[in-house]
Amino acid sequence: MSYDHSHPRPEPPGRLALPGSVQGLAVALVLVGGAALGWAFSRGEAQLAWSSYLIGAFFALGLGVFGAAWLAILYLARGAWSVTMRRVPEAMTAWLLPGGVLALAAGLGARALYHWSHADVVAKDALLTHKAPFLNLTMFYALVGASLLLWVAFGAAFVAVSRRQDRDGGIGPTRTARALSAAFLVVFALTISIVSFYLLLSLDAHWFSTMFAVLVFTDVVQTGTAFVAVVAGLLVAAGKLRGFLNENHLHSLGKMVFASTGFWAYIYFCQHMLIWYANLPEETVYFLRRTSNGWLPYILLLPLLKFVVPFLLLVPREAKRKAGRLVPVAALIVFAQFWELYLMVAPAMGHGGEAAHAHLPLVELGATLGFLGLFTLVFGWSLARHDAVPLKDPALAECLDYHT
């Protein structure tokens, strides 16, 4: 890679706005999600409604927090190639405040979702009694709320530093962002564990896994990178950032999508292999629930959606450089994240001895589409508020002359 400051800079693209058709589709998805949840609640299916809500809320929350994680990782790695697409993750962080509130609201459905929220059940269960100092609603709201508040604060700080650079220029804001990034990644490692433990892992309160937080982290990275690839690919295809974003940038982004796909497969296999090898009842129960009562075809489909198909399609070099090939694969990965969350949540809904039975996730998909629609509207609102490219970033010249 080389760069030359003498290259003429393209005409600034101004601000980006979501096309009216995309905004209309997002509104339609919100209505679909609301209708799905309303239908479930109206039929007295509180467990189905709240589990669908949880899947959608966590799906969108993962996209929001990835925006901050992406910024932190690339600031620390000094990834100059990504400068011209920085507005995408910055806009993703706008979801952290409304999305955090909506995710925390899952606590309102705790009695339908979490076995440990029933005092009478905990009193008769030695293991839940042992875990009660951690698994209770007070700690749920305190720790999850504090974690989400930290995400909001760091996300706002990243954006504020970027805006300061837009006004004043210079390397100072970049150095500040790197310091913020180092602090955030430490905080993120702890808080993603807390949030995933409470919202997802505690659905199976008798089960535990030291790999679970790492698996959720890989989910966030894989899905978030895929979402950025969808947006960047569409921008390139539409010629919106001509001269600022091209197939060389897409190539590096596609390699990140490809790498995250292999990373997810490695972590998912490690969790399954360690549980299978140890063969301990308190660990195997998780996969036994997800391979019985009709769930086996669903869980076998997961590695195909999240690894096998994307991996094979992204192997060719051109698949990572052409928007027409990268965007559909990235969209498949985004859908596959819904499928994995569905398999994390839905089989756990048959609390106690009565196991949940497999079913087509129509309500769950509708709710998740609703959250995706809301996320898209917030993302588009934030994206349109500022210039599409950080024109005063000192690394911009290097980014414009990036070749792969």
Over residues 241-250, the pLDDT tens digits come to: 888 999 999 9
Which of these ranges, 6-20, 133-147, 209-223, 244-258, has the smallest mean pLDDT? 6-20
* Residue 80 maps to a domain: yes
In-domain check, residue 388: yes
Does the pLDDT value for residue 2 go beyond 60?
no
Residue 8 lies in a domain: no
Q: Which domain holds residue 144?
A: 20-397
Higher-pLDDT residue of 277, 151: 151
Q: Is 108 helix (H, G, I), strand (E, B) or coil?
A: helix
Q: What is the pLDDT of residue 373?
A: 97
**Which residue shows structure tokens 């300061």?**
164
Separation of alpha carbons 275 and 139, rounded Å: 28
Locate all alpha helices (DSSP H) within 124-171, ordered by sequence: 126-131, 137-139, 145-168
The pTM of the full predicted model, rounded to 2 decimals, is: 0.95
Tokens representing 322?
Answer: 């052409």
Question: Within a domain: residue 402?
Answer: no
326-376 per-position pLDDT tens digit: 999 999 999 999 999 999 999 999 755 566 899 999 999 999 999 999 999
Residue 53 makes CB contacts below 8 A (sequence gap 6+) with: 37, 106, 109, 367
For 231-242, what is each residue's pLDDT tens digit?
A: 999 999 988 888
**What integer is the mean pLDDT of 269-284?**
87
Number of domains in the chain: 1
Bridge partners, 387 (sequence order):
15
- The answer to whether residue 28 is domain-embedded is yes
% of the chain residues with pLDDT over 90: 81
Q: Per-residue pLDDT tens for 119-177?
A: 999 999 999 999 999 999 999 999 999 999 999 999 999 999 999 999 999 999 999 99
With respect to residue 12, please indicate whether it lies within any of the assigned structural domains: no
1 located within any domain: no
Q: CA 172 to CA 175: how far, in whole Å?
A: 5
Residues whose CB is less than 8 angstroms from the CB of residue 93 and which lie 6 or more positions away in sequence, other chains included: 64, 67, 68, 71, 155, 156, 158, 159, 382
Long-range own/partner contacts, residues 336-339 (CB < 8 A, 24 or more apart): 336/302, 336/305, 336/306, 336/310, 337/59, 337/62, 337/219, 337/222, 337/223, 337/306, 338/55, 338/59, 338/364, 338/365, 338/368, 339/298, 339/301, 339/302, 339/305, 339/306
10 within some domain: no
